[in-house]
Amino acid sequence: MSVTNIDPAILKKAQAWLDDNNIDSETKSRVSKMIEQDPAELAESFYCDLEFGTGGLRGIMGDGTNRMNKYTVGMATQGLANYLKKVFAGENEIRIAIAYDCRNNSSYFSQIVADVLSANGLVVYLFSKLRPTPELSFAVRYLHCHSGVMVTASHNPKEYNGYKVYWNDGAQLVPPHDKNVILEVQKIASVGEVNFAGDTSKIIMLGEDMDNEFLKVSKTYSLAPEVIAPAKDMKIVYTPLHGTGITMVPQSLRNYGFQNIHIVEAQAINDGNFPTIVSPNPEERAAMKMALDLAREINADLVLATDPDADRIGVGVKDTDGNYILLNGNQTAALLTYYLIKQWEAKGKLKGNEYIVKTIVTSELISDIAKGAGVEYFDCLTGFKWIAEVIRNNEGKKTFIGGGEESYGYMIGDFVRDKDAVTACAIFAECAAWAASKGKSLYELLLDIYLEYGLYKENLVNVVKKGMSGQAEIKAMMEGFRSNPPKEIAGSNVVLMNDYELRQATDIASGITTPINLPKSDVLQFFLADGTKISMRPSGTEPKIKFYFSVRSDLKTTADFKDTEAKLDGRIEEIIVAMGLR
């Protein structure tokens, strides 16, 4: 691609940056170099504006309107400031908390956010050093803030950064605020409209005092401290994957009473380049390799990991053959749900108004466990902001026990209103201690759950479609399934289709539709006659479409586990092939 065949609209947007007196000379020099030497990168950097979505801002770092940089962050933050000043116009002061993770430029971007907000008259509580996402959510609630910002790209690759916006209940934005903030951001037409002149008198630094308050409240969610003392020397391997978890997770484990914690030192160094791993995602086995190696070396009882902003948790346990395996997100959610409900039962805490929450793509095993104990459960859309909304809607009427999703995020209690890997790590270790008190490993406890409720097996296929063309391809895939839904898949009839975009469920045999009482979302689900659940949705944070598969079979004995699991794996593969995804 040469300058002569660059899309004129893209060239015009790049030239606007070169002509803008508010853009610094270094940035202009790099943009000029792109025009002259790298038109393909220019196209990716300027073909659109980096979208401020319902969860906030996220993108690849670099120069241009479609990149995370000082100017796109500043414009988004100015829009946020304008909205907060409108909504809370009658308040004496508007308060906002800001935290950041280990990523490259996270500290820099957090300072820009603080400068823009304080320049607009807001009181800013800024963490002095990197801290986990759950502590940011906690700080919003603890300090009675009106909003919060967490500078992070979660578990995205190292090239990314972004930020998540929180409302005054410590949860990420939901309607109407998410859409209204987006509208205000879209009104910011140029960098010249952004006030970058921060007011240091309005910026208050947060430090260890907030850490201590967070840990103190987190400790109150311990349900069986009596089982920890005999298991205090249980060997726990922990890796923060170069992220913020190192600031809080070891302290939280010790706070609960666990003393034998072994940290993967090479990954305890905060580094946004993530030098020991390709991807800082505890869902991926490669990211857990060093932790598993250390576990084998010391014969650990439990392996724990957190992602860069410490809102997701990865777990490794020993199977009955002594091999270390990684639990998937549904298995971890099942164990946590089972443990929480069993302890609430044992302690006489179940009064009849308690509930748990899961997302629609999470295993139905979670709802089976809740129903088995007579505990109410709610389904919600993917994302913890929707779990937080359920809590908000039931505040003062019902008691939230816990919630989770298949993508390794969990929330115990409601003092934090987002995924909380800090507390989840401690509670999961407590669950391991409880299992040990019964002469069982966590793996054996999981098998017991399968014997009682059935063996569920899930898989996830990500179809990545990058760049300008990728968005169109993903949209076309969803429209294809929506307009021409399959009648059968891999030999089993489709009996029900849930279309969350249309907010309706369709009985395939009769054609009868019923409303779905959840917000509109671009998600499709197919339920098959054999009990299979297939879900598909475009990712809200990455250039891909996700396909979720869930199958189930009764499990008669633990001796049948591996054969039954293999059959279910084979069934999932049949479905994937039948859908043309392999």
Strands (E), 264-423: 302-306, 313-318, 324-327, 354-359, 376-380, 399-405, 409-412
Count of other CB atoms within 10 angstroms of residue 348:
7
Report the distance separating Cα 541 and Cα 128, nearest Å. 27
Residue numbers of the chain with a pLDDT score lower than 70:
1-4, 468, 541
pLDDT tens readout for residues 521-544: 999 999 999 999 999 999 876 778
Residue 459's beta-bridge partner residues? 549
CB 75 within 8 A of CB 36: no
Specify burial of residue 53 (Cβ count, 10 A radius: 0-12, 13-18, 19+).
middle
* CA atoms within 13 A of residue 260's CA, in its CB half-sphere: 18
Report the distance separating Cα 344 and Cα 375, nearest Å. 11
Report the distance separating Cα 278 and Cα 269, nearest Å. 16
- Give the contacts of 164 (CB within 8 A, at least 6 positions apart): 55, 56, 133, 149, 150, 152, 172
> What's the DSSP call for residue 61?
B
Cα torsion angle, 287, 291, 293, 296, sign: negative
Contacts 24+ apart (CB under 8 A), 179-187: 179/54, 180/83, 181/52, 181/79, 181/80, 181/83, 182/52, 182/53, 182/54, 184/79, 184/80, 184/82, 184/83, 184/86, 185/52, 185/75, 185/76, 185/78, 185/79, 185/80, 186/52, 186/79, 187/79, 187/82
pLDDT of residue 336: 98
Evaluate the omega torsion of the peptide bond into residue 230 and state whether it is cis, within 30 degrees of 0: no
Place of tokens 């859309």: 381
- In the chain, what are the domain boundaries? 1-45, 48-212, 233-451, 455-578
C-alpha distances in Å from residue 315, one per residue of 109, 496, 568: 31, 34, 22
Q: Compute CA 132 distance to the chain's CA centroid, rounded to the nearest angstrom.
A: 12
CB 108 within 8 A of CB 278: no
- Phi-psi category of 441—alpha, beta or left, where left has phi over 0 and alpha has psi -120 to 50? beta
Backbone angles phi, psi at 390, to 5 degrees: -60, -45
The 3-state DSSP class for residue 239 equals strand
Residues recognised as catalytic: 154
Report the distance separating Cα 346 and Cα 342, nearest Å. 6
Residue 380's beta-bridge partner residues? 359
pLDDT of residue 541: 65
The 3-state DSSP class for residue 162 equals strand
CA torsion, ordered 429, 153, 416, 412, to nearest 10 deg: -30
Q: Compute CA 578 distance to the chain's CA centroid, rounded to the nearest angstrom.
A: 30
**CATH code of domain 48-212:** 3.40.120.10
The 3-state DSSP class for residue 417 equals coil
233-451 and 455-578 have identical folds: no
CB 384 within 8 A of CB 405: yes
Q: How long is the chain?
A: 582
pLDDT of residue 299: 98
**CATH code of domain 233-451:** 3.40.120.10
pLDDT of residue 1: 42
Report the distance separating Cα 214 and Cα 132, nearest Å. 11
Count of other CB atoms within 10 angstroms of residue 40:
11
Report the side by side order of strands in the sheet with 302-306: 261-263, 236-239, 302-306, 313-318, 324-327
> What's the DSSP call for residue 541?
S
Report the distance separating Cα 356 and Cα 566, nearest Å. 30
> Whole-angstrom distance between the N-terminal and C-terminal Cα of the chain?
33
CA-based radius of gyration for the chain? 24
Encode burial over 539-560: b for 16+ CB neighbours within 10 A, e otherwise: eebbebbbbbbbbbbebeeeeb
Tell me the two tokens of residue 366.
């979670």
**CATH code of domain 455-578:** 3.30.310
Residue type, 512: I
pLDDT tens readout for residues 439-467: 999 999 999 999 999 999 999 999 988 77
- Give the contacts of 63 (CB within 8 A, at least 6 positions apart): 17, 27, 30, 31, 34, 45, 69
Q: Compute CA 76 distance to the chain's CA centroid, rounded to the nearest angstrom.
A: 21
CB 484 within 8 A of CB 544: no
* CA atoms within 13 A of residue 509's CA, in its CB half-sphere: 5
State the DSSP H helix or E strand holding residue 271, giving kind and residue range, or none if neither. Answer: none
